[in-house]
Structure 1
Amino acid sequence: MSGYIHDDVLESLPGKMNQTDINVTGNEEVNDSPIEEVRLTVPITDDPSQPALTFRTWVLGLASCCLLAFVNQFFSYRQNRLSVSSVSAQILVLPMGKLMAATLPTKVVRFPFTNWTFSLNPGPFNLKEHVLITIFASCGASGVYAVSIITIVKAFYHRSLNLVAAMLLAQTTQLLGYGWAGLFRKYLVDSPYMWWPANLVQVSLFRALHEKEKRSKGGVTRLQFFLIVFITSFAYYIMPGQIFASLASLSFVCWIWKDSVLAQQLGSGLHGFGIGSFGLDWSTVAGFLGSPLATPLFAIVNILIGFFLFLYVLVPIAYWTNTYEARKFPIMTSNTYDSTGKIYEISRILNEKTFDLNQAAYNNYSKLYVSVLFAFTYGLSFATLMASISHVALFEGQ
């Protein structure tokens, strides 16, 4: 028996959904989300006739993955990090996919020595292909954390690293992460309460690019709105990116008291607390924490509170009370120092042949010192691991 969901059924669902035109048959489970933002953004319909793992998907997906992996790794070495998200690939592959659909032959190709066949052009470029290609791109855009180890060994310790060993290190850490994600799929993916706000932005963009929408009188469609924002943001970025690069960081306190060390510590956005400093370059805003436009208000407020307590309470107290001789070194730097305040010479405490610590040389040279900000950052990065457990225990432990 076919019909619509009644109000009493909707009231019993988490989140108290409003009446919708979701058609169900018999005792079929209502496939909708208890999160309002998800219900308003993600459609629950599916077209099983659309092909997904096509030749276009593999070609454009692998190309996007490799390209974004290279670009983001390359730009990660900048002082002001520039990150290219999978949204860029999501936009660029659409015309490429449509071009392949219009030009490739429909010839069916068979894998040698197997019965597997595929078509170079199974039909119009569809939404499922587009989504899968973007998932490919996301895998490359996130980068490989273990590359930092390889970079440090080569750049700071001037040691050669075997190519196979470096590749195995990178692959092991990546596969370990994917393995953990698979083990916790039930909680991180399948659970309707585990929603990812940044993904909703991409879902909205998918719908704008693929769905036919009738424009209301005096309004704009999703696609028109996207094009307006895209062109405007592109035109704006020319200013801080090419014409007037100093707009990336404006530190008025440093400009006014340019000879004051205290003013530089308080006002510098690069080596200080950034008081009175702001940037007009979007990569400055979203380079490390991602775009705030896709983050819910409660998360932004939590981040701001933690940021304020850490940067403007904890770090200044530790620095100006000279905890562990903190005032001998810059407030914000990732460099290491010796007891005299000079850059630590790592080569003086390492055995050149075995590449391990020479304890006698270390005792004769100096202790290793780091800036107060770097020390707290390193320590709190370990605390976040326990914080995730505490969060689950406090909010989901009942």
Structure 2
Amino acid sequence: MANEQDKKVDVIEETAVQKSHTGTTLPAYVAEETVETVERDLTITGDDLANAQEIAKELSLDETRTILRNVIKNHENDQNFPIHVLEQMKEFVANEDISAEPAKYQTLIAEMRVEAALIQSDSPYPEVRAVVDNTDDPSMPSSTIRAWTIGIIYVSAGVLINQLFYIRQPTITLEANVAQLLAYPAGKAWETWMPDWQFTILGQRHSLNPGKFNKKEHMLITIMANVGFTTPYTTDIILAQFLPQYFNQQYASHFGYQILITLGTNFIGYGIAGLTRQFLVYPAHCVWPASLVTIALNQSFHTETNLPVAGPFRRVFTTSRLKLFTVAFLAMFVYFWFPDYIFQALSLFSWLSWIAPNNVNLATVCGMSNGMGINPLSTFDWNILTFDQGQSPLVLPFFFWWNSFVGMTIGAFVILAFWYTNTYNTGYLPINTPRVFDHFGEYYNVTNAIDHRGIFDAAKYESYSPPFLAAGYLVVYTNFFALYTATLTWTFLYHRHEVSRGLRNLFRRGQNNVLHPDVHNRLMSRYTEVPEWWYLLVLLASIACALGGILGWPTYTSPGVVFYGIALCLVFIVPIGIINAITGMEITLNVLAEFIGGAWNAGNALGMNYFKAFGYVTAAHTLHFSKDLKMAHYVKIPPRHTFAGQIVATFVATFVATSILNFQMTQIPGVCTANQKDHYTCPGINQFFTAAVLWGTVGPKKVFGSGGMYTWLLVGFPVGVLVPVVVYCLRKRLPKQRWLRDIHPPAIFYGGQNYAPYNVSYLWPGVVVSYISQIYVKKRWIGFWAKVSRSNLSSGGHGAPSNVAQYNYVVSAAFSSGVAIAAIIIFFTLQMQHVSIDWWGNNVVAQGCEDTPCRRLTLADGEYFGPRMGEFH
């Protein structure tokens, strides 16, 4: 009976045809609506629709239902999956009349068959389909002499520059997209000029010039730069240990000690990333939105075909991705000189506070530098829009930006309430700063609370002052506490099935294309996977290096910090990894690591630093490495090539960075002092040292413990549990309320912890841009937004290579690259030479309270606020 009904459906669908705007033949039901309506219903373009229709003919109604039931189960709570498509699937699966009267439901049947075929042959997400090919050419080389040579050279140069300027003010940081840009001309030059010498090593044939420089080589170089450009976290630890103005521990200058702890912290993340692939890399719902920009840029250089697509203003756009990237890159490169150097008011466009710069209330509410930043038009600087770890509003989903904005707005009113009521004595301090103060309102001088060994001195502390935090920083801590428990609760409520499936798959033997049956895993099944025991060996070797550094020198630190730090990472890595992979939001464990590490290592700042390094840094590295593994997965680089590239790049970068660190410690006179002549004043190290002493030496027990000044901030922990549960119950009670599906409590708390020094002015413009891109343009002109034109799609994903030109992601990559290159040139040619332009457009950003933070209350000479001397311990 089912087969007869399938035949009826096929006849219905094939009775008429209509041409799409790209000239592709589409199924009959499109004539009843419009091409644009169907594209909007399924969030796919005309060519994807036509190709998926060919595959759909092979699917019976029963097969379609089976596929869609699995999709509903896996994506019911997936905020990236189009809700209207999900509701259509539910209607299709639940309606038993469809088999009996197929003619009555021909549009729904056709759409659901197409959607089922699309999910079988491609990604269920239009964002991924717009960027990632669903085909592969296994003969395309990736691990070539060309890729390794360019990659290692760029890694060495990039980490050298980043390490050298890390301690300078202003600093400069080279991102991996710079290496990605420069790798293309280097690869093409190699392709053109290098002779094709061939030779054999260990029985394998190699060529000095394997032919055309391809996208797999290019992406492998980018991945190497991505992991290799990072300045080791141990830079902060070693400088704070060695320099006399800090802890003055001279053994920290030993190269063996430095290299062991650096290798330990750098490689532990690899071990855990490899062991969490079943949770964070292979599943289709782990999109890793930020990686799509990198892939889009990579595709732009290696795709030649370009087809027209309809877009806004009733125009047909024919611009190729490479041309679009070039134009957008040059435009942003030229424009960025204005907000960054020529007309800096365009960047910090705090026009409301310019009305009366010395008005404390106006600057507090509207100021962008030292206030809450409540300003509807706050910046014309793309760099401001990507303030949050470089995340682009064109890339991350709109629900993330909106939820973060809600959290930040709520935080603004709480901060204002604290400050204006002088709660916790915040009225005596600047409203929004990450600095720590004493009871005179001065920066906290940690040397007044420690002895000559850097250990907490109770007598000195009691004769000095407890630490005080600004109103903005209080809200930051409260939101951090809520964020951690909300992450665990949200993951249990909405992602427990994915976690459970990952655990089962972790202990199963089988190919990933069976455990995770999506097109990308099917394509990657051709390549030999990296076994878990390889990653386990990396983990064990890194632990051995870390223990060697801690036990081999007089650190007075328990080796348990390594294992407790790893345990903290293991508890959180899957929940924060899933949220990062779905939303692009990176939840850091730095505050929790300081909180737990400081309580566990009370009085020992170095012990707290190591706990932080092996908890927070391990988790951060694991997330970055997992994102790179997903990029390699999307581009179809053999897993063992990716593994080798990451390991070698990190190893090289570790030795280069450590060598430069020794140069900085011993060859730069007056390094990390306020008046260092070349501006190597180490602002980050100063903050790190203050945090180390405050939370490691003074300890969180005195701040947040029983009887502590800020004990009530711990309410964030239960609030973080309660809010996701309330949202979950509301969604169960009101399943038809679509807006409830877009509420994401971790993102709300994430927005609230962005204060000190940021504020609403930094986040709000991203909400507007994200809405225009992700909602307005995407829904109306999906073809223009994705600029997709595919050919020869087949059910197994083995057709001819796709031709994908993504306008949205190419523009994002071009803007970020233009900012990066312009910033480097401005820094080296002008800022390092102290050349500036003195005029109103640059000076207005630093007037009144926007220059020096204003305070609501002041102290008389000799007075102090807070607990009286002798009342705190």
| TM beyond 0.5 | yes
Partner of 1:18: 114
Count of residues in correspondence between the two structures:
386
Confirm or deny that 1:61 pairs with 2:141. no
- Which of 133, 136, 147 is equivalent to 1:43? 133
Confirm or deny that 1:316 pairs with 2:403. no
Q: Go from structure 1 to structure 2 and tell me whether the alpha carbon gap of 1:19 and 1:223 turns closer, same or farther (over 3 Å shift).
A: farther
Counterpart contact for 1:81–1:283, Cα < 8 Å: no
Confirm or deny that 1:394 pairs with 2:490. no
- Return the offset for 1:377: 2.1
Partner of 2:397: 296
Partner of 2:406: 305
Partner of 1:338: 438
Counterpart contact for 2:247–2:454, Cα < 8 Å: no
Partner of 1:242: 341
SS in 1 for 2:138: coil
Partner of 1:25: none
- Which of 463, 472, 481 is equivalent to 1:364? 463
Counterpart contact for 1:82–1:287, Cα < 8 Å: no
Q: Distance in 1 between matches of 2:189 and 2:450?
A: 57
- Return the offset for 1:67: 4.0
Specify which structure has the higher proportion of helix.
2
- Return the offset for 1:106: 2.2
Counterpart contact for 1:76–1:83, Cα < 8 Å: yes
- Which of 281, 302, 318 is equivalent to 2:381? 281
Provide Cα deviations, 1:285-306, integer angstroms capped at 9, x if missing partner: 2133422111111111121112
- Which of 193, 205, 210 is equivalent to 1:122? 210
Percent of aligned pairs sharing the same letter:
29
SS in 1 for 2:284: coil
Q: Distance in 1 between matches of 2:447 and 2:305?
A: 64
Confirm or deny that 1:351 pairs with 2:451. yes
- Return the offset for 1:282: 2.0
Counterpart contact for 1:338–1:369, Cα < 8 Å: yes
Confirm or deny that 1:271 pairs with 2:367. no
State how 1:188-267 maps to structure 2 within 5 Å.
Answer: 188-216=280-308, 219-267=318-366
Q: Distance in 2 between matches of 1:68 and 1:317?
A: 45
SS in 2 for 1:397: helix
SS in 2 for 1:121: coil
Q: Distance in 2 between matches of 1:328 and 1:108?
A: 73
- Return the offset for 1:130: 0.7
- Which of 163, 175, 182 is equivalent to 2:274? 182
Q: Distance in 2 between matches of 1:151 and 1:213?
A: 52
Q: Distance in 2 between matches of 1:135 and 1:249?
A: 33
Q: Go from structure 1 to structure 2 and tell me whether the alpha carbon gap of 1:286 and 1:42 turns closer, same or farther (over 3 Å shift).
A: same
Counterpart contact for 1:80–1:284, Cα < 8 Å: no
SS in 1 for 2:463: helix
- Return the offset for 1:176: 2.4
Q: Distance in 1 between matches of 2:209 and 2:141?
A: 10
Counterpart contact for 1:17–1:36, Cα < 8 Å: no
SS in 2 for 1:58: helix
Larger RCO (CA under 8 A, 6+ residues apart): 2
Provide Cα deviations, 1:30-80, integer angstroms capped at 9, x if missing partner: 563232322343112111111111112112222333444455566766889
Q: Distance in 2 between matches of 1:115 and 1:180?
A: 33
- Residue type at the aligned position of 2:306: K
Counterpart contact for 1:188–1:194, Cα < 8 Å: yes
Provide Cα deviations, 1:75-101, integer angstroms capped at 9, x if missing partner: 766889876543332222111111112
Gaps of 5+ in 2: 1-53, 72-85, 87-111, 309-315, 498-873
Pick the structure with greater CA Rg.
Answer: 2
Q: Go from structure 1 to structure 2 and tell me whether the alpha carbon gap of 1:132 and 1:117 turns closer, same or farther (over 3 Å shift).
A: same
- Return the offset for 1:170: 3.5
Q: Distance in 2 between matches of 1:248 and 1:77?
A: 24
Q: Distance in 1 between matches of 2:342 and 2:459?
A: 54
- Residue type at the aligned position of 1:125: F
- Return the offset for 1:387: 2.7
Partner of 2:219: 131
Q: Distance in 1 between matches of 2:159 and 2:171?
A: 14
SS in 1 for 2:354: helix
Q: Go from structure 1 to structure 2 and tell me whether the alpha carbon gap of 1:191 and 1:228 turns closer, same or farther (over 3 Å shift).
A: same
Moved more, 59-68 or 41-50: 59-68
- Which of 76, 97, 102 is equivalent to 2:192? 102
Counterpart contact for 2:426–2:471, Cα < 8 Å: yes
SS in 1 for 2:263: helix
Counterpart contact for 2:306–2:318, Cα < 8 Å: no
Q: Go from structure 1 to structure 2 and tell me whether the alpha carbon gap of 1:330 and 1:53 turns closer, same or farther (over 3 Å shift).
A: same
- Residue type at the aligned position of 1:295: L
Q: Distance in 2 between matches of 1:78 and 1:332?
A: 24
- Return the offset for 1:19: 6.9
Q: Go from structure 1 to structure 2 and tell me whether the alpha carbon gap of 1:377 and 1:63 turns closer, same or farther (over 3 Å shift).
A: farther
SS in 2 for 1:118: strand
- Return the offset for 1:273: 1.0
Q: Distance in 1 between matches of 2:324 and 2:338?
A: 22
- Residue type at the aligned position of 2:398: L
Counterpart contact for 2:64–2:116, Cα < 8 Å: no
- Residue type at the aligned position of 2:139: S
- Residue type at the aligned position of 1:234: F
- Return the offset for 1:7: 4.4
Counterpart contact for 1:318–1:372, Cα < 8 Å: yes
- Residue type at the aligned position of 1:178: Y
State how 1:375-394 maps to structure 2 within 5 Å.
Answer: 375-394=474-493
Partner of 1:157: 246
Provide Cα deviations, 1:103-150, integer angstroms capped at 9, x if missing partner: 222223566xx6566332222211110111111122135554444444
Q: Distance in 2 between matches of 1:375 and 1:336?
A: 11
Q: Distance in 2 between matches of 1:104 and 1:341?
A: 65
Q: Distance in 2 between matches of 1:105 and 1:346?
A: 62
Counterpart contact for 2:121–2:134, Cα < 8 Å: yes
Q: Go from structure 1 to structure 2 and tell me whether the alpha carbon gap of 1:305 and 1:80 turns closer, same or farther (over 3 Å shift).
A: farther
- Residue type at the aligned position of 1:228: V
- Return the offset for 1:329: 1.1
| CA RMSD in angstroms, aligned pairs only | 3.1
Q: Go from structure 1 to structure 2 and tell me whether the alpha carbon gap of 1:155 and 1:184 turns closer, same or farther (over 3 Å shift).
A: farther
Moved more, 342-351 or 171-180: 171-180
- Residue type at the aligned position of 2:373: G
Counterpart contact for 1:75–1:82, Cα < 8 Å: yes
- Residue type at the aligned position of 1:108: Q
Q: Distance in 1 between matches of 2:138 and 2:120?
A: 18
